[in-house]
Every structure is written in C-alpha cells, then in structure tokens.
Structure 1
Amino acid sequence: MEKDNPNVYVVGASWQRLLYGAEDVGLFKEFNDGSMRGFTYANKHNFKEFQADGDGFLSMAECQYIIKHELDNLRAKDEAHVPGYPKMKLYPGKSVIRRMQSKGILVQVFPLHEKEELKRLSFSWFKKIKLSFQPLDDIRHYFGEGMALYFGFLEYFTLALIPMALIGIPYYLFDFEDYDKFTVFAGFNLVWCTVILELWKRLSASLAYGWGTLSRKKAFEEPRPGFHGVLGVNPVTGRAEPLYSNAKRQLRIYLVSVPFVLLCLYLSLYVMMIYFDMEGWALMIHDEEPTFWTGVLIFIPSIIYAVVIEIMNLIYRYAAEFLTGWENHRLESTFQNHLVLKVLVFNFFNCFASLFYIAFVMQDMVLLRQSLATLLITSQILNQIMEAFLPYWLQRRRNKKAHKRMIKTMGDRELPLSEQVKLEADMSTYLGTFDDYLELFLLFGYVSLFSCVYPLAAVLVVLNNVTEVYSDAFKMCKVFKRPFSEPAANIGVWQLAFEAMSVIAVATNCALIGMSPQVKSYFPESETQLILWVVGFEHFLLASKFILTFVIPDVPKDIQIKLSRLEFESLEALKKRKMLEASGIPKTDK
C-alpha cells in the first residue's frame, strides 16, 4: 500500500505456481510411505494427500510463505531505478520489494486473514472452554511453524509446571516458616529445570519432523532491509549488494553498545538501591506503629519497584533495538541474536538483581519471599494489561467508527476485498514472538531460581500461562494483522537462554541450601568447609546436568532412523545420477 495514494495491490498465485514454488523453497511433505521428503513437482502424485490438481495440498501458511518468497526474489536486472521513482536507484540483483519497503514506497505488506478459516480456528482455540490441548496443527496450518512452536512451548511449559505447583502447595500451607524443609524442594527444582528442557528438545523435534521443517535445509539469507554500506559484489552470490566493514561494526559494538549496556545496568542498580531505602523506611514506620495500614504500606515499595522495572524494561527494549540497528548487521539472524543478548542481560539484571541482593547479601528470607511474590504478581498483571487488554481496547476504539460507516454503507452484504484490506491495514502489527518468549524466560527464572523460598511461584505461573494461552490466541485472531509465517525447526536462541538460566539456577539453589540452618548445623566450626561442600555439590550437579544432556537424545530414535534413511537414499540417488551422467544415459524423473 502506498502512503500518499493509498492504492491496494492484492497478490495471489495459482495452485500450479504454488506447487512449483514449494519445490523452489524446499518444502518437505509426507510421502506415501510415511516419511518426510523434499517436494518435487514431477513426483507430486507420490506424496500423501495429493489429489487432483493439488488443491488443499499446501497449508495456508505454506502458500503465504511461497508467495512472500517469490515477491522477495523479484530482483532488478537492467533497471537503474524503480519505475516512476527516478531517485530510487536499483542495481542488478537487488530485491525490488525490499527496496520499495526501505524507501517507504510500499507502506505495508501483509497477508490477509481468511475469514472462515479464522472462525474455525478461533472456536477450537479460545472461544470454547476445554481441557484438551491446543490445536497446534491448525495453528501451524494458519500461522506457520514458528507460531505453532511458540504455543507448543507455552503449553508444554505450563504442563511441566504442574508437578512443581502440586508439590509447592503443601509446602506453602504446612511448612511455610520452616525453610530447612525447602532444601528438598530446591533439590527437586534442580532436577526439574534440567529434565524439562531436555524433553522439550525431543518434543520440538517430533513436531518439527511432522511439519517437515526438521530436515529442511536452511535458506540462504539475504541482507536485511535496514542494512546499508558501500556498493560491492558479494563473493558468494556474485550479486551487487552493500558491503560494510566488520571492523567498523565491532568498534560500534565495543565502544558504544557495550558501554551503553553497562550504563543501563548501573542505572538499574541505582534504582534498586532506592527501592531498598523505601523498603527500609516502610518497615521502620510499621515497627513504630504496627497497624493495618502500615502493614499495607510494607508492600507499596515492592509494587512501585515492580512497575518501574516493567517501564525500564520497555524503554530499554526500544533503545536496544535502535542500537542493534545502528550496529548495521547484515543478516536478520545476526541482528536478532545481538538484540536478544542485549535484552536478556538487562532484563535478567533488572528483574533478579534485587532478589539476589536480598538472598545473599541481606540474607533475609522473609523479605525475599515477600519481594518475589510482589514482583511476580505485579509483572503478571501488567503484562496481561499491556499484551491483551490495551491492544484490544485501542483496536476497538480505532475501528468503531469504521465499522459503523461500513455497516451503514454495506448493510448486511459481505465486505468487499478492498474494504477488508483497508480494515486490516489499520490493525496493530504483531512484532513477533520475541516479547512472548522473553516473558516466559523471566517466569522460568522466577520459578527455577527462588521458588524453594516461595513454592507458590509455580502455581502463579501456571495460572498466568493458562490465561496467556487464551489472551495470546485472542490477540492473534482479533487484534493483530496476520503475520508472515516463517518455517522453524526449534525455538532457536531461546533454547540456549533457558538452558543458561537452568545453569544459574543450579548455583542459586545450591547457595540457598548452604544457607539453611539445617545444613549449617553439619559444619558448626568451619564456614570454609561449608563453602567447599556447597561448591563441590554445585559442581557435582552441574556435571550430572551436562551428562544428562548427553544421555537424553535431542531427537527420538524413530525419527533419527527416518532421517538417516532419507540421507542414505539421497546419497544413493546422487551416485546413480552421476553414473548415468558419466555413461551418457539421459536421466529420468523417476
């Protein structure tokens, strides 16, 4: 859509063209023998569920991905500029669509919602109250593998928390003040956070294999739209594209980005110390005059601090995104990795620094329990407001007049395609699963790091995740424009982030166990022996954790066999092809 002259261009493709495109992008589909194989148009009738002309063989998300791939690969040949825009220069091999987007000629490019399919998905996903699992295959069919894997992980994480919640409730009710008995809970916590991540790898591999993305070759990455530099020739593709010195990028990272992150961490530390001053002031007032209202006052500093944390995280997110863009990374994957690293470092420090200080410097378990509960509950409430209710309210307010005008004009008639495009163009844009995974990462941190002190943390996170499933499903279907689908075989860099958190959880829980009076009683005369015992126990658990990662295979055995068989058949076919070429016999498509 163009900004000044809002022309609407609707792009589609015939089924035959989509099938050729499926071969070009390397889609894997289920073969008649039940294995997943790379789709070829010449061999199309040997694929399961392929009927007649192939109508319905590809999912909606796959069709959308193929069309987007074809648009992105519309490349300039001899044109010197975009037709009608002499100042918008082109050079051979440049993606025309990306160029028009980066220069603002194309204001929005987005896939349309399919009304009937969306109604069916909405009903099975969030409109009916059910105890069954989410329709992951339907989500994948409509939104793609990346979105389906996120909701699959959200569901898995919620189910994995149930044992923690069931154990945590009696600990909270019957042993609330007996911190010695929380050492058992901490030990269970250590095993839990390792096992669930390893089992998730197996589950995600099974899902990805069934969806055809596990064995699919990664597409060659093109430069991201925001990348700029001096025009040169890519030594790999031979195409003309911008080139930027890696040395300059590294200087920007180490001379600007790293100091900026350190400055933000210092500001976070300064705000944390203000919070402790407020906490001390509230406790002093309560000690002088213990009334109901002074009891309420004790929780006010924690609530204010939790709100400030969320505001600081939001501001830092935008600053980190701007800074990462300024670093001028060539590939989108590299851009995302640097952005994730910046955001994770700050969010981890901002959310958990105060809890570490209370636990290991102040060693006040009562205050730690109170602060953890307040931070967790407040952050959950704010996230639900910001992620679901606020976008929905803004969307209803924005579209209220538009709906009235359309009803007055169209009556009961079906909305024309052009009006549907304009209506969806005004909807909010979904920015990806980054913030959703970040929220789950922080919740995982609250549970794995300090839940032995506050066992109800797992219960609160389960309740939050149940509402998160419905609120996220609602906003995807009703609030946001339909996002472009992206093939995915796993949750990417977030798997490493969760595993890093589980390693930190080992050290944290071992330290909390070592601080308990029950453990200290075994070392009444020597604190050094206690420290050595805790460090030795921590190293033993870390070694056990890493051994466990090797003992539990990332991919189930039956899928490993199928992948190995496919690789063997591919090598045999390649050998046969080379032999035919060497003998001069023309090859066949069989």
Structure 2
Amino acid sequence: MEEINDDLSAHVMLQQKLGCIIQDGITEGQRFALSSDLWRCASASPHCDVLITLRPQQNKQISKELVLWFHDIIKKSEPHFDIKIKHHNLTNSYGLYITANYASLLKGAELCHLKKPIKPSYGGGMRDFTIDEAKCFQGLEIRSNFLSGMERSMIVRQMLQMIKAPSPGGFLFRPISTESPHQILVPDGGTLLVSLMSQKVIENMLPLHQPEILADLQKRWVFALFDEQPLEDIKEYFGTEIAMYFAWLGHLTTALWTPAIIGVLMFFIGGFSFVHQDNQEENTLFGDICFVIFALINCIWSTAYLEMWKRQQAELAFKWGTYELQTDQFLEDPRPAYKGECLKPNPVSGRLEPFYPPWKHMLIRYGVTFPLTLLCVSFLFFIMFSLLQLQDMADAVFKHSYYFKWIIYLPMIFYALIIVSGDFFYRRLAIILNDLENYRTDDEYENYLIQKIVMFQCVSAFGSLFYIAFYLNDMRRLQETLATLLITRQLTQNIIEIAVPFIIEKFKVARLTYQMTRSMSDHSLQRHVDAARKRKDTFQSTPSSELDETFTPQENAEEEGVCESKDGQELRLRKPNGSSLLSVTPSPKRLSSNSEAFELTEAELQALMTSYSRPLDDYLEMFIQFGYVLLFSPAFPLAAFCALLNNLLEIRVDAFKLCNAVQRPFGRRVKTIGAWQKAMEMMGVAGVIVNCALIGQSGLIQRMWPDMPTSIQVSLLRENYKNIPFWIRIETAKVEHWRREAYKRESRLISGNDDSGIASSNMNESNSTNNIQTGQRQNPPPRSITDHLRFRRVRENRSCAPAGRNAQFY
C-alpha cells in the first residue's frame, strides 16, 4: 500500500513539474512574441548617406573611446561631414551616421566622373560632371534630385576610402581609461577603412534603405510578376551593376520562350520523350529527326541570344552613361585592399601609387594558384568518376536485393555531400588565392575570381552528365539525370537563396530582442511595446533629433557651401579652413545618453542583415542553368521550359532578396556584365560542340552511318552581326564630328588673327620658344562651355585617389 502511495505521489509531482514547465514555456513564448513587436515596430532611421557600425569591444568604456577616436579621425580628414553617433541596443555597439553636404557631394561627383544630363541649351546628352561647368547640367538647382541616394552613398564611401594614415606616425588607438593592452594601429600610408576592417574593428559599412522609394519599387517590381521590370528605377536605387544583371536576366528569360515552346512541342509530339540506346527499334525515324533538328535549333538560338544581348547591353550602357566608361587598368585607381611594396608613379597619370612587382604576381599565379586550382578540379573529377563507377557496380550487385537495395543510393549521397562541402571550401580557397595574387583593380580581382569558381562549378554541375552521355552512351539515363539536376537545383537554390536567410535573419533579431528585454518586467515590456507601436504609427523622420546618443563637435570649422551669383550663371565653392591629421585624445564625456533605452530603429535591423556586395552567385546560378539548357537539352527538351518558369520566379526572388533580406549594396558603375559575357560565349561554343556530338549519338546517325567513328569534325559558320546598334554608332560618331568641328573652328580663329603672315608666325614661334626656355606654360585657346566639356583638361585632383593628400577635397 505504501509503495502504491509513493508511486501516486511521484506521479503527481511529475505532473506538477511538467505542468510548470509547460506553463513557463507558454509564458516565455508569449513574452518572446511580445518582445518581437519591438523590432517589428522599429522606428524609421535618421537620414544619412553611409552607416558604419563598430564591433563591440571588451567593455563599454573602450567602445566609447574607440568610436570617438574613429569619429575624430574622419572629422579631421573631412571636416564637412556631418557625423552622428548612436548606440545600437541590440548588439551593444556604436554606429556612425555619416552625411555629406551638397558642395562636397558635387566635388565627389567630379572626382568619381559621374555622368549627368546637360541642359538642351548647351547641347544635351550626358557628360562627366565638373564644378567649372556646373551651370550647364540639368537639375543642379534641385538638390534633392540631382544626386540619387545611391550616388550619394557611392561618393561618400569613395571619400572615406581615400583617408590614409599620415607618414610618419600613422594612426594609433590606445585606451586611456583602462590599463588594457588592447591597441589598434593603422600603419603609415595605410587606408583607414581597409585596416580597421582587416582588424575586425569595423563590422559593417552600408547605405540605408529609403523607405518611400523602396516601397514604390517593390510594388512595381517584386509584386508585379508579369510586368516589365522598371530598370531605370532599379539603376537609380541600386546602381548600374545590379540593373545590368536584372536586364540580362530579363533578356535571358525572354529569349527562353523560343526553345521552351519548341521543346514542349518536340517532347509531346516528337516521339522521343525517352530515348533508348539499348533498343534502337523502338526509336521512330520521326523522333530521331526531331532530336537532330532540336539540337541544331539550340546552336542557332544560343548564338542569336548572345549577339542580341550584346546589342541591348550597349544600348543600356549608352543610356545610363557608362558606354564610354574607361576600362584600361592604368586609368583606374588601385583598389583599397591592393598592397604594394613601394610607391611608384603611374605610367599614365604620373601619380604616386602602390607598386607590386609583376614577376611576383606571375610567380604566385602560375606557381601556386594554377597548380592548386587544377589539383582541386582534378580531385573533384576523380571523386565523381569513382563514385559513378561505384554506383554502377552497386546497381548491378544489389539491384534485386530486398535488404540491401538501399546501398545503391549511398554513392550518390556521398557525391552530393562532397559537392556541397567541396564548393564551400573551394570558394574560400579561391578567395584566399585571389587575395594572394594581389590584383590592382576591382575588375581584375573579380574576373580572376570568376574564372576560378566557374572551373570548379562546371565540373561539379556537368561532369556527371558528360560521363553518362559520352562514356555510358545512355541517353535515357541522361534525360532522367538532367531533369533531376535541373529541377532540384532550381528549387533548392531558390529556397536557400531567400527563405533560409530571411528566416534566419528574423529569428536572429527576435532572439537579440528577447535577450535585451529579459531583465524587464512584463508591465514594463508591455509599456515599451505600446510606445513602439505608437511611434510606428506617428513617426516622422527628423534626423537631427532622433538619435539616442549624439555627438556634438566642439570644433567649429567653416562648412563648405554652394554660392550662386546674382545672375544665376556662376556656381562657386567655398573652401573649409584647412585642418591637419593631429592626434586627438578621445573623451567619452562627449557622449550623452538622453532618450529611450529600448527604442529600435530600422538602421539597427539593416546592419544585422547579410551583406550583399556583388551579384556573383546570382550570375553563377543562371550560368549553370544556361549550360543545362544549351548542352544537353536535346535529351530533355523540357529543360528550356523548366528554366523559363524558374526565371519568371527568379527575377522576383532576387528582387525580394535585395529589398528585404540583405543589406542595401553600394552602387557600382559598369558598362557590361564583365567576365560573365566571356563565360557565356565560351559556353555557347561548348554547346555547339556538345550538341553536334549528341547528334552523332542519336539514332538517326546510327541508322545512316552505323560504322561512323565517334570523333567528328564540326565546321561553324557565324553571321557577321554587329554587336553595337546602328543608332549608338551614329550618336558616338556625332560626338566625334562635333569634336573635330570645334577643333577646326578654333584653328580658324587662331589663324584669322595672324594678319602679319609669316612674320607673325615666326614671332609666335619665338614666343613659344622663349616660354619653353623660361619654363612658362602656354594657355590653350579659349573655348565655349560646350567645347570645353568635350576637351576637358585632365587634372590630377580629379582622380578618385589623388596622391600626396589625405582625402582633402579642394
């Protein structure tokens, strides 16, 4: 009896404990959901051009000293910047909200060679913006519209990247309030941002979203499934590079309609939904003819698509002002992460810049990078070949086994795991090798990184298909494998690309918000949530007063301004008082907290999102899909149709990701899709060869020439198709014609003043000789403002990285 009572009491206690656990779980779940309303009702962010967040340090005191030290360096280098400091409660870190005034942005636009529209009275068109001819540019008076938010952030980032440590001395941070040995050093001549990022002091640098513009863009882009993409608005908000990618993706989607329709017809009425190599009698002659015709159509379609894209690409580049963008590496400034052993003059501009010996670059590239890359690709090919052979052996042995049939799938499972893990590690190895090669410009760096990644991805994506098509000669298995790879890759990549990052980011923010509010009582939490909801409904952005912790500089430097003359025809810039990079002792007392401790802003949430630098993975995904459609689609004619359906969704998935799941990227100006154009052309050549080889494997060729060897000779004829549209060639020819006519007019004006004939000419020659001997510089003949835009002088201080100055824009 006692044992029964003990059992009952233990059972009751267990029920009570389980009840308490369930009740606590329900309570904490409700609290978790309530705290999540704090970030769902986050306040609008204060306006700024660039946000920089610093990684939390050992204690809050060091973090305060560090953010003030960083603030003072930027302020001394760029006194015209408006910098506000805000404490981010979620991550216990500090953010610097940086805004440049209009005059500084105009000078930055000139240094970055931004093209802007010219007033019709001055000839129209697009020209590089210059301060001297500012009155010629349309919309200059409207400060809010002349430079887009994307252009403002791009200019400010460029100005920040130009801040370099003085020589000798550099920048040194050492805490003064503690005895911690922690210190941060930016060496002589080092770039401030690059050094702090490499030392993991800077956690994020991003431009903030503009809510009103973003909401309108999402309405007309993300949620409009069958409408035309607003490429102009995409270009204005995200930059030319992102807009060019979506233009290319839209062009590919449109081009896929042709092979998709033909492929559907071939699949259902062509009679070769499954091609049997082991039973040639089942293959009808009509089906074999359709197979050959579809392969030939593939070759013609790929060439036409690539050539038509070149034309549209040129049109977009001309319209967006990047058609004449300089691509010569010596005309571009070195990327911030470029390391040089010494300083040498640029052979074109003559400016001092970091120099890295070419022989070292070639030694690393051919002695380290190429062998490692080939070793990785060969290892992947060997593993793939071995596992496919192992699968064939397992299929032959265990195909009819009841208990061990599962062994057949083990090789493919291992192969999939090796592909995923191999891509993960090889991607990081490729970045390390690319950094080791130390390329001078961003374009070089990206092009060689693309080459390394594409080589590995081509083997992993197409290796098994080549093995099945040309080693096993099994067309039925090729069709099944291609359909499986294409469909599963598209579905998984769309889920991994948008759903997983979006869910992880929201859960991360919810977890941080829950941890931040755990010490609060339920009543206090409810009060803060109600206040956040009220602010969300009635909030109006006021950048000067919505910061939690603001810094008010004690130095009163004269700010730059834009001065316009009374007649409105001249625009001049006031220069700020000169300031040098002096050591500044950080004083945490200049930070004061005076507002709501648990108020969250959109800027804090955006800083926690995944960074999105460039659309490399998006291009790679579409490149692999293009290969599936082009190389082996005669074996699976529905490949183009599946790709078309995927691309209609892919455009909106990528758009949603850019607008909601990742940080807003900095704008970048491009004239083409870069190395991907060359990769697509090489894929087109490979597609012609592979399709001809598949024709050789088809039943029609086997019937007509049963003894024909596998190796065949292919002769390709290509139509002479102009890559640049006719109207662009006309417009560029007009510009050249105007340039020559302007030169002729000036020459006639000069010759018309020579009334004394040969004597005057000799006098001018004598004067010229005297000027050369005395070291005087001859002034060029006066030009009209329009001609001057075409003959603009190349001045040193119009480069994005002037030598011998620490980011002073004068």
- Whether the TM-score (by the shorter chain) exceeds 0.5 is yes
2:268 corresponds in structure 1 to 173
1:9 corresponds in structure 2 to 96
1:568 corresponds in structure 2 to 737
2:334 corresponds in structure 1 to 223
2:248 corresponds in structure 1 to 153
Q: Cα distance, 1:568 vs. partner?
A: 3.2
Deviations 1:483-530 (A, max 9, x none): 111001110110000000000111100111122221233334x525x8
Q: Cα distance, 1:304 vs. partner?
A: 6.3
Match of 1:432 among 614, 623, 637: 614
2:476 corresponds in structure 1 to 366
1 or 2, which has the higher helix percentage?
1
Give, in whole Å, the separation in 1 of the partners of 2:332 and 2:324.
18
2:708 corresponds in structure 1 to 527
Give, in whole Å, the separation in 2 of the partners of 1:227 and 1:207.
31
Q: Cα distance, 1:398 vs. partner?
A: 1.0
2:161 corresponds in structure 1 to 72
The answer as to whether partners of 1:309 and 1:351 remain within 8 angstroms in 2 is: no
2:438 corresponds in structure 1 to 328
Kindly indicate whether residue 664 of structure 2 is the aligned counterpart of residue 482 of structure 1: yes
Match of 1:410 among 532, 540, 544: 532
Give, in whole Å, the separation in 2 of the partners of 1:564 and 1:356.
48
Distance 1:108 1:577, change over 3 A: farther
The residue type equivalent to 2:660 in the other structure is: K
2:454 corresponds in structure 1 to 344
The answer as to whether partners of 1:37 and 1:566 remain within 8 angstroms in 2 is: no
Distance 1:168 1:290, change over 3 A: farther
Deviations 1:308-344 (A, max 9, x none): 4344223321221122212233332222222111111
Q: Cα distance, 1:23 vs. partner?
A: 2.7
Q: Which aligned pairs between 1:11-26 and structure 2 lie closer than 5 A?
A: 11-26=98-113
Q: Cα distance, 1:78 vs. partner?
A: 5.3
Kindly indicate whether residue 152 of structure 2 is the aligned counterpart of residue 63 of structure 1: yes
Q: Cα distance, 1:470 vs. partner?
A: 1.5
Q: Which aligned pairs between 1:294-305 and structure 2 lie closer than 5 A?
A: 305=415
1:269 corresponds in structure 2 to 381
Q: Cα distance, 1:583 vs. partner?
A: 8.1
Q: Which aligned pairs between 1:357-506 and structure 2 lie closer than 5 A?
A: 357-401=467-511, 407=529, 410-413=532-535, 414=539, 416=546, 419-506=601-688
Give, in whole Å, the separation in 2 of the partners of 1:19 and 1:204.
29
Q: Which aligned pairs between 1:303-322 and structure 2 lie closer than 5 A?
A: 305-306=415-416, 308-322=418-432
The answer as to whether partners of 1:302 and 1:371 remain within 8 angstroms in 2 is: no
The residue type equivalent to 2:117 in the other structure is: E
Deviations 1:222-281 (A, max 9, x none): 333433342333444666654333222322222322222222223212332343245425
Q: TM-score with structure 2 length normalisation?
A: 0.65
Q: Cα distance, 1:357 vs. partner?
A: 1.6
Give, in whole Å, the separation in 2 of the partners of 1:222 and 1:42.
23
Task: Compare relative contact order (CA 8 Å, sep 6+) and give the higher one, 1 or 2.
Answer: 2
Give, in whole Å, the separation in 2 of the partners of 1:501 and 1:489.
21
The answer as to whether partners of 2:117 and 2:127 remain within 8 angstroms in 1 is: yes
The alignment's C-alpha RMSD in Å is 3.1
The residue type equivalent to 2:161 in the other structure is: D
The answer as to whether partners of 1:111 and 1:482 remain within 8 angstroms in 2 is: yes
Match of 1:30 among 117, 120, 130: 117
Q: Secondary structure at the match of 1:288?
A: coil
Distance 1:134 1:587, change over 3 A: closer
Distance 1:113 1:448, change over 3 A: same
Give, in whole Å, the separation in 2 of the partners of 1:47 and 1:584.
24
Give, in whole Å, the separation in 2 of the partners of 1:506 and 1:383.
27
The answer as to whether partners of 1:91 and 1:240 remain within 8 angstroms in 2 is: no
The residue type equivalent to 2:361 in the other structure is: R
Give, in whole Å, the separation in 1 of the partners of 2:742 and 2:420.
56
Distance 1:398 1:245, change over 3 A: same
5+ long unaligned stretches in structure 1: none
Give, in whole Å, the separation in 1 of the partners of 2:343 and 2:137.
43
Q: Secondary structure at the match of 1:55?
A: helix
The answer as to whether partners of 1:16 and 1:53 remain within 8 angstroms in 2 is: no
The answer as to whether partners of 1:22 and 1:66 remain within 8 angstroms in 2 is: yes
Give, in whole Å, the separation in 2 of the partners of 1:54 and 1:561.
33
Q: Cα distance, 1:65 vs. partner?
A: 1.8
Give, in whole Å, the separation in 1 of the partners of 2:426 and 2:231.
33
The answer as to whether partners of 1:26 and 1:216 remain within 8 angstroms in 2 is: no
Give, in whole Å, the separation in 1 of the partners of 2:730 and 2:381.
52
Give, in whole Å, the separation in 2 of the partners of 1:226 and 1:45.
37
5+ long unaligned stretches in structure 2: 1-52, 58-62, 64-92, 175-182, 275-282, 518-527, 549-600, 751-776, 787-810
Give, in whole Å, the separation in 1 of the partners of 2:110 and 2:236.
18
Give, in whole Å, the separation in 1 of the partners of 2:141 and 2:300.
52
Q: Secondary structure at the match of 1:10?
A: strand
1:40 corresponds in structure 2 to 130
Give, in whole Å, the separation in 1 of the partners of 2:782 and 2:480.
77
Give, in whole Å, the separation in 1 of the partners of 2:637 and 2:408.
21
The residue type equivalent to 1:432 in the other structure is: R
Q: Secondary structure at the match of 1:148?
A: helix
Distance 1:403 1:472, change over 3 A: farther
Moved more, 24-33 or 426-435: 24-33
Matched residues, number: 572
Q: Larger radius of gyration, structure 1 or 2? A: 2
Give, in whole Å, the separation in 2 of the partners of 1:147 and 1:298.
44
Distance 1:575 1:325, change over 3 A: farther
Q: TM-score with structure 1 length normalisation?
A: 0.88
Q: Secondary structure at the match of 1:8?
A: strand
1:188 corresponds in structure 2 to 297
Distance 1:457 1:301, change over 3 A: farther
Deviations 1:402-452 (A, max 9, x none): 567684663421484664333221111114111111111111100100001
The residue type equivalent to 1:134 in the other structure is: Q
